[in-house]
Structure 1
Amino acid sequence: MDTARRSARDWLADYDARLTRAAEGAEAASAGLREVGGTASSPRGEVTVSVGASGALEDLRLTPAARALEADALARLILNTARQAQHAVGTQVIDIMTRYLGDGPALDMVKANLPEVAK
């Protein structure tokens, strides 16, 4: 019986240690994700876009040179620049979650829920 108790205590201590490591890893991942963001500028600098962790637009800056562009060209430039910023965010999210989850089904689920431009 003494060996069984020791074995159960060892198992419980090991389980508790794994839970503690998992909680610490989750907190580290959460802290890293709170810091995620991306900024990109168009090749000639007319447009600069910043996005948050979700890829949502947070800031858009246009230089005077942007006024020289046709409306459709400016719209395409803004969208392309936003996609570049979103890609940067997706890369950061994947890096953080890879450190936390490792390769496997959970990471695949994270990747599947990122915008297409980030994968």
Structure 2
Amino acid sequence: MPDIADDAEEWVRSWSASVSEKAAAAQSLSDQVSRVTATASDPEQLVTVTVDGSGCVAGLHLDQRAGRLEMDRLAEVIVRTMRKAQSRLTEQVTSIAEQTVGIDSATGRAVVSSFEVRFPSEPTGTDDER
């Protein structure tokens, strides 16, 4: 006859180990996402923008040729390039989630979704792709 107390104890140990593994994976996801950066350049290589994991600009490089653009056009290229870099964050976070907590886990879906909402993919066929 099986010992119910032993079975219950084993179940608790297994459950506890599972929770610990999930917590470690979630911590790894958090650590890696906090260090992620993404860089993008416009097609003509006039503007290069690097963003940190929160999407804030961490670096901006303007080629000398960028000085020949009208200010409105330069601002447009900078913003478009920044958005391109931000959309790359989503790609990287998706990959990190797949490797740590799993893309189909509640944690993975929540983290990736938050990046997709804040930093959507750039539409193709923009003016910069002339």
CA root-mean-square deviation = 2.2
Decide whether aligned partners of structure 1 residues 111 and 40 sit closer, same or farther in structure 2, where only a CA change above 3 A counts.
same
**Secondary structure of 1:33's aligned partner:** helix
Question: Structure 1 residue runs of 4+, over 6 Å off?
Answer: none
Unpaired runs of 5+ residues, structure 2, are 123-130
Decide whether aligned partners of structure 1 residues 116 and 36 sit closer, same or farther in structure 2, where only a CA change above 3 A counts.
closer
Asked if 2 retains the 8 angstrom alpha-carbon contact of 1:89 and 1:118, the reply is no
Q: Which moved more, 1:51-60 or 1:28-37?
A: 28-37
Alignment of 1:96 onto 2:96: yes
Alignment of 1:117 onto 2:86: no
Task: State the AA in 1 paired with 2:58.
Answer: E
Question: Could you tell me how far apart the structure 2 residues matched to 1:30 and 1:108 are?
Answer: 14
Q: TM-score, normalised by structure 1?
A: 0.86
Cα displacement (A) at 1:17: 1.1
**Secondary structure of 2:55's aligned partner:** coil
Residue number in structure 2 paired with 1:28? 28
Cα displacement (A) at 1:54: 1.2
Task: State the AA in 1 paired with 2:24.
Answer: E
Asked if 2 retains the 8 angstrom alpha-carbon contact of 1:42 and 1:48, the reply is yes
Cα displacement (A) at 1:62: 0.7
CA distances 1:8-39 after superposition (whole Å, capped 9, x unpaired): 11111111110121122112212321331100
Q: TM-score, normalised by structure 2?
A: 0.79
Decide whether aligned partners of structure 1 residues 35 and 66 sit closer, same or farther in structure 2, where only a CA change above 3 A counts.
same
**Secondary structure of 1:113's aligned partner:** helix
- How many residues are treated as equivalent by the alignment? 119
